[in-house]
Structure 1
Amino acid sequence: MTDIQPPYGDLVLPCLNEAEALPWVLQRIPDGWRPLVVDNGSTDGSAEIARAHGATVVHEPRRGFGAACHTGLRAATAELIAFCDCDATLDPGELSRVAAPVREGAADLVLARRRPVTRGAWPMHARAGNRALSRMVRRRTGVRLHDLGPMRVARREPLLELALTDRRSGYPLQIVVLAADAGWRIRETEVDYLPRSGASKVTGTWRGTWQAVRDMRAVLR
């Protein structure tokens, strides 16, 4: 087992108007993880709420999920890095379990496969888009995944060495593709997927879902 003592991880939380969800998310983060909330232009006081709950806040004025994630990655200093949506669909309390294979040296990247707890937690159009992308990833890389889960863990330096360039919705997929090309050991585990707090900015609508799919398909070319 790799000898990493707490605090051993930074949790990157890309954030755009998540004032409703942030308190619950930040209260659920396990000991040993530092929350890095990357504010992507919120107008609802998200940054102030995050600070009030002990998070480190980083600002990224360029809109885009990938822009926020990469700014968080560059701001991180811990050996382990995790990414997680901060809309309360995922429980950060699962983070230590998800991170264990990376921390113990058994994997280089772990993705958390979403397991909906209610029928409405993961809309059918979003599931369909995810399945299509998973098949494309398998054809492109040979990696068999069920989900491009938004909770994921890897080591900071190798992630930076991947030289990620996408700054939109394709960022999570680019991590998987470049990691596979680099010969990383990629594993998948399951986590509960909860109904989100507030309105979805991407997968809550067909238009948003297929825009994300289009961004991600561009990564696979």
Structure 2
Amino acid sequence: MRKQLSTEGFVVIDNIYTLEEINSILETISQADTSKPTFRRTNDLFAIRQFLKEVPAAYNLIFNNKLNAIVSEFFGDDYFIVKSIYFNKPEQSNWFVAYHQDLTISVDKKLEVEGFGPWTVKQNQFAVQPPLDILEDNFTIRIHLDNTNEYNGALRVIPKSHLKRIYRPETIDWSKETEIVCDVALGGIMIMKPLLLHASNRTTSNNKRRVIHIEFSNRLLPGTLQWSEKKDFRQKLVHHKAKINNRNN
């Protein structure tokens, strides 16, 4: 699976969460204060930006032993959380996302730094395109709270596109590229590289698609520029490894 992530740009892993764990996460989300500006609700989408900041009670539910082990085994112990979003695409949503790469990161302020730009601001959140080597080192985990397939907005991806650096969607050569639909069962996760070209369709099955999207990095930013949502969970991973070692001994 680590090789697939490196070569293809994504991997799907089933059975990370039990149905009971998923229900606990959803119950925690339902209790959140939705009046804040980081909450966005329309007929087509309910989203919570800075999710782990806004719903901190979800943190320990999300980072269970299985997810901690995967992060540690795939990437080592030096990564930290840099962004988190909750997406709920309702049963009759017409919301779709065209092919794109995730080219920006969320930071705490706008600062003129060589190699960083262009800049955008969304809901008082600064975002900037960093040097490519930062994006190449980052990864994203998408936690699926529903069964997800092509009929309710599963990601469509172009394998290996993350290896082509900046890859503009309008230049995709479909005579050479292949599209894959990434079905993910409830309780499973998808790990992907930010530079992987990905898209999602409208919902046609009358089924929800709820996903928690968490981005990770092991890179410190230059000068006084900081990740806006940085959360270090290495201590939790070290504690998890210690428990395993004690059990084995």
More strand by share: 2
Q: Which has the larger radius of gyration?
A: 2
What TM-score, normalized by structure 2, do the two folds share? Answer: 0.25
Answer 1 or 2: which has greater helix percent: 1
